[in-house]
């Protein structure tokens, strides 16, 4: 269901790509690669003629061989029929070139680190001559030699976050898995190598196993991390089996110290309904809009009115990436509501300011048109419309909540704040990547955004309340918060005042990771990963909440949506605009 939107001018041919020695300036939120600088090197690359999906949905197969020339790369590609598989499955092929002395699989300190080199092979793709990029959590490795197998095993043992999945065979004589191995889980297919299989099985833990076609599948403590063990020879058929049973099912999100394996979604089988560049909504002058709808199976064809939730993807992302990132459709299956994943009207970036001068299309208009459309698709409980979103999508959800408080019952913005209200478009673009401090009395650029104007007019006409559960990663930005003009603090104060909770300044609390005191603070999750702050109004209603995830950068823990739903589902909107609260809904 992913659109094929990436095409290379080298498609269908092997292309020699330079691998820079330093990628420190190529940072990309959610899709970053971090590696020590080294020598400038090269690799061969292959982009399929059929095209690839958006980088955040594009898989990469990186093949390690002992040769260094184009002929050796072509021979390996033909040996495993990788070009045929890439055309069918729409993934990118990379063939890193070892140095003259071969792969540094013992991680000798007097040689360049090949682990860092392999990370740089991915890191240079964005903006490269090849013209196609991929996602760091879907880089899959294939070893074509014992030396390559040892190289990948060393990397999986020492830098497991950079090895989402690998396919290895036997080791060269004398190789040993590093003594300082982290023993962290890794998805793998191991052929004829009991030592590697034993290490990975112990690192993954085993919850179940099954055997088919001479391959034993061990499901880890996290069942989304699999180990496949076989004595079958590594050939094209085994590579194809590995793709179907391991690689295509694997995604390692970089949302924890060593990442986290999360279930992949087959959108077609799941029953997603896609609308790609659909002009039927009639909004924004009839421009083609893209969105994906998900109705749980038990609701299809029923007449029951159900809640509706919108999830806005991050800036530079696409809806199906946001779907896999958040897993809201899985929550919908359990809780009986509909989810819509829209795509920003222009350049994958939300117009959270409703700026009609510098940006062509209004995403606010798109949002309202989608609500009307969804009412035709299935009976919708219009009193229970919710919004959520990640990063720039979090900005968008905040903007919709404050400008349409008569429509939105509650909101769950993630890893972003109400910057569409506090900061105008031009100033934000000019200050991308710089420290953000704000004049609390107006937008930093001196321009009152349309979002701010709409929100202030609505609030002045009627004392709306919009309950908010704000989420963020504790290593995404500077915590504890000290700056009085920090965008986060301004957003916190805004929603606390908006929802009639205590508006006195935050009291610094150095006993917890956030540095903030709250009316109530609890730790959630079996691992205690979530720090959950709550602030209450005078009637004892929790109207503003902050859910902070330990060890989490600019990313999401898969459990975030489920926790957010327990907050959102309490709230509905009465016909007169007032808020209805049913605390019994919260588990």
Q: Is the pLDDT of residue 28 over 70?
A: yes
Would you state the structure tokens that stand for residue 357, as one six-digit string? 């001068």
Q: No. of H helices and E strands in the chain?
A: 16, 24
Q: How confident is the model at residue 478 (pLDDT cuts 50, 70, 90)?
A: confident
Phi-psi region of 142 (alpha: psi -120 to 50; beta: other; left: phi over 0): beta
Q: How far is CA 185 from CA 119, 227, 289, in A?
A: 19, 10, 40
Distance CA 579, CA 397 (A): 18
Helix (H) or strand (E) holding 236: helix 236-245
In DSSP terms, which residues pair with 310 in a beta bridge? 340, 387
Helix (H) or strand (E) holding 274: strand 273-278
- Cα four-point dihedral sign 227, 228, 234, 236: negative
3-state SS string for 380-401 = EEEEEEEEEEECHHHHHHHHHH
* 262 CB-near residues (< 8 Å, 6+ apart): 224, 251, 252, 253, 324, 327, 558
* 546 CB-near residues (< 8 Å, 6+ apart): 469, 470, 471, 472, 492, 514, 516, 518, 532, 533
DSSP assigned state of 137:
G
For residue 146, what pLDDT is reported?
A: 98
Closest by CA position to 389, among listed 368, 409, 361, 415: 415
3-class secondary-structure state, position 152:
helix
For residue 36, what pLDDT is reported?
A: 95
Within 13 Å, how many C-alpha atoms sit on residue 432's CB side? Answer: 9
Q: Is the pLDDT of residue 440 over 60?
A: no
Task: Report all structural domains of the chain as residue ranges with CATH numbers, in order of start.
Answer: 14-254 (3.40.50.1820), 267-585 (3.40.50.1820)
The residue assigned the tokens 């429509």 is 407
Task: Give, rounded to a whole angstrom, the gap between the first and last alpha carbons of the chain.
Answer: 35
* 538 CB-near residues (< 8 Å, 6+ apart): 500
pLDDT digits (tens, 9 = 90+) for 294-337: 999 999 999 999 999 999 999 999 999 999 999 999 999 999 99
Distance CA 344, CA 363 (A): 7
Mean pLDDT of 4-14: 95
The residue assigned the tokens 């993954």 is 204
The answer to whether the CB of 200 falls within 8 A of the CB of 188 is yes
pLDDT digits (tens, 9 = 90+) for 367-417: 999 999 999 999 999 999 999 999 999 999 999 999 999 999 999 999 999
Q: Is the pLDDT of residue 438 over 60?
A: no
- Cα four-point dihedral sign 347, 351, 354, 358: negative
Regarding predicted confidence, which is higher, 53 or 524? 53
Closest by CA position to 413, among listed 394, 428, 400: 394
pLDDT digits (tens, 9 = 90+) for 64-76: 999 999 999 999 9
The answer to whether the CB of 4 falls within 8 A of the CB of 51 is yes
Would you state the structure tokens that stand for residue 209, as one six-digit string? 């196993």
Tell me the pTM. Answer: 0.95
């Amino acid at each position: 269901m992913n659109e094929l939107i990436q095409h290379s001018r080298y498609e269908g041919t092997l292309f020699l790509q330079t691998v820079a020695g330093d990628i420190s300036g190529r940072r990309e939120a959610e899709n970053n690669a971090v590696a020590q600088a080294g020598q400038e090197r090269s690799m061969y690359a292959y982009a399929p003629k059929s095209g690839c999906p958006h980088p955040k949905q594009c898989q990469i197969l990186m093949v390690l061989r002992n040769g260094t020339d184009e002929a050796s790369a072509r021979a390996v590609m033909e040996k495993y029929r990788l070009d045929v598989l890439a055309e069918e499955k729409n993934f990118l092929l990379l063939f890193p070139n070892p140095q003259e002395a071969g792969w540094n699989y013992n991680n000798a300190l007097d040689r360049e680190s090949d682990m860092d080199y392999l990370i740089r092979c991915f890191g240079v793709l964005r903006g490269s001559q090849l013209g196609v990029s991929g996602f760091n959590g879907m880089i899959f490795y294939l070893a074509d030699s014992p030396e390559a197998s040892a190289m990948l095993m060393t990397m999986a043992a020492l830098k497991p976050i950079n090895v989402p999945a690998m396919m290895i065979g036997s080791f060269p004589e004398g190789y040993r898995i590093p003594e300082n191995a982290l023993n962290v889980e890794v998805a793998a297919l191991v052929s004829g190598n009991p030592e590697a299989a034993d290490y990975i099985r112990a690192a993954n833990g085993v919850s179940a196993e099954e055997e088919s076609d001479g391959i034993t599948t061990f499901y880890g403590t996290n069942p989304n991390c699999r180990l496949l063990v076989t004595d079958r020879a590594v050939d094209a058929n085994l590579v194809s089996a590995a793709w179907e049973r391991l690689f295509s099912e694997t995604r390692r999100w970089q949302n924890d110290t060593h990442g986290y394996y999360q279930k992949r979604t087959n959108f077609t089988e799941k029953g997603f309904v896609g609308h790609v560049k659909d002009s039927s909504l009639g909004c924004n002058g009839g421009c083609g809009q893209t969105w994906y709808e998900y109705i749980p199976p038990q609701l299809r064809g029923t007449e029951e009115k159900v809640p509706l939730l919108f999830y806005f993807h991050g800036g530079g992302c696409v809806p199906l990436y946001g779907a896999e990132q958040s897993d809201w459709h899985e929550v919908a299956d359990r809780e009986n509501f509909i989810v819509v994943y829209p795509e920003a009207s222009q350049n994958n970036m939300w117009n959270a300011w409703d700026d009609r001068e510098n940006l062509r299309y209004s995403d606010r208009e798109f949002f309202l048109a989608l609500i009307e459309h969804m009412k035709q698709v299935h009976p919708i409980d219009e009193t229970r419309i919710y919004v959520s979103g990640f990063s720039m999508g979090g900005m968008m959800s905040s903007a919709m909540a404050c400008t349409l408080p008569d429509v939105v019952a509650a909101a769950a913005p993630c890893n972003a704040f109400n910057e569409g209200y506090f900061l105008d478009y031009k100033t934000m673009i000019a200050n991308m990547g710089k420290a953000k401090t704000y004049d609390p009395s107006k937008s930093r650029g001196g321009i009152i955004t349309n979002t701010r104007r709409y929100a202030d007019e609505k609030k002045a006409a009627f004392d709306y309340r919009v309950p908010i559960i704000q989420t963020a990663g504790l290593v995404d930005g500077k915590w504890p918060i000290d700056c009085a003009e920090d965008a986060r603090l301004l957003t916190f104060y805004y929603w606390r005042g908006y929802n009639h909770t205590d508006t006195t300044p935050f009291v610094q609390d150095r006993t917890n990771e956030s540095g903030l005191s709250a009316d109530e603070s609890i730790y959630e999750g079996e691992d205690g990963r979530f720090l959950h702050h709550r602030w209450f109004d005078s009637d004892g209603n929790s109207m503003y909440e902050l859910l902070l995830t330990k060890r989490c950068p600019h990313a999401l823990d898969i459990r975030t949506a489920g926790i957010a739903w327990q907050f959102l589902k309490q709230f509905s909107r009465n016909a007169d605009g007032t808020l209805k609260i049913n605390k019994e809904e919260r588990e």
